Amino acid sequence: MPVFEYKGYDAKGKNVKGVHDADSIKALRMLLRKEGILATFVVEAASGKVVAQAGGGLLNKQIRLDAFFKRIPAQDIANTTRQMAVLLQAGVPVVESLNALLEQIENEPLQRVFSEVRSSVNEGSSLADALARHSVFSPIYINMVRAGESSGALEVVLERLADLMERQTHLNSKIMGAMAYPAVMALVSVLVMMIMLTTVVPRISQIFLRAKVKLPATTSFLIWVSDVISGFWWLLLILLGGAIYAFIRWKKTPQGRAKWDSFKMRVPVFGQLVQLVAVARFSRTLSTLLAGGVPLLNSLQIVRNIVNNDVLEKAIDDVREAVREGEDIAAPLKRAGCFPPMVTHMISIGEKSGELESMLTRIATTYEQQVEVKVTTLTSLLEPIMIVVMGVSVGFIVFSILTPIMQMSQLVQ
């Protein structure tokens, strides 16, 4: 008989913990309930694996730390989803598929999650309801699994989910990878400038002060900047931290978020990239949801929650209202003005021909390719621009230092 360690609350609300043997986790819960104990964390003593989290989703501190330090990569979830799709296509039942997955998952937090999913399914819960208890699965994931269970095509839905997650992961990694080099260059440039202003310039400025020569305006300005950074670096850090904190707080307000999202889409060059990414994500996700059997209105609500842009969210809200009143999708999208004309035109053709899902897939593929081209182009432009900025900054410092030195040498002669 398995032995379980548990933590929870007694009838008086006090924290309790202990060890109890039971035939199953369900039997353990019944035994503890008779003793007036609400278990919030249960682990199988033999294996050390977490087998349940009850009490309305209350988490043990150790699990919170694991979740913080051991994030579950989207690629791992995609791989696991594809493996489960393969098992189901081979005719393996859901519970046995989950058992097989647990033996293959290497990511410990993800293994813990699927262990709890398996326990919930064993107790009679549907797979979608079991997944919904864990925040690592997005609303898209849960709704598609629920639709797949209802239609009896769960393996097909899981395969589409894996495709969606892999494409989104690839697109995100492409953007992050392309921006990594400019970010590192910017950081190195700032560090070099700070070192020069806090170590090199102060020493040379002492030489100028002892020589009592009249300094050019550029040199005086450079020394002033160096003195401010060297003497008040702590104040500058406080001001910078305060500004960042205030900006984050402002951006979280409804007005701030609306203005910031609108600004992002109007920024030259980068605004177009933001729009391309949003259109690609909108099209790919909506196509996958519709192909998975999720109703149109539900699909639009889910897509609205993942675009992460206030302007687009309002546009999708208008589309949902128009669709609820009997309109098609293309017309309200065109009225919103947030989507390129080609997108609304292709969606209109897809609706008229009855091939909306495939048309959305083509739009997503086209715009994902444009995003990759745009990112590559921006990266190739950013590198020389940053090199020029770095060269001009260092050149200004060198020029400001050499000019009075040349004057001093002429005086000596």
pLDDT of 347 > 80? The answer is yes
Residue 102 corresponds to which tokens in the numbers above? 């647990």
- Per residue in 290-300, pLDDT (tens digit) is 887 888 888 88
User: What domains can you pick out in the chain, each with its CATH number?
Assistant: 3-69 (no CATH), 74-164 (1.20.81.30), 165-413 (1.20.81.30)
pLDDT of 350 > 80? The answer is yes
- Per residue in 31-46, pLDDT (tens digit) is 777 777 777 777 764 4
pLDDT of residue 60: 41
Average pLDDT over residues 373-400: 84
Question: Which of the four pLDDT bands, split at 50, 70 and 90, describes residue 248?
Answer: very high
Question: Which of the four pLDDT bands, split at 50, 70 and 90, describes residue 332?
Answer: confident
pLDDT of 216 > 90? The answer is no
Taking CA atoms, 144 is separated from 59, 81, 99, 127, in Å, by 26, 12, 22, 11
pLDDT of 238 > 90? The answer is yes
Assessment of whether the complete model's pTM goes beyond 0.75 = no
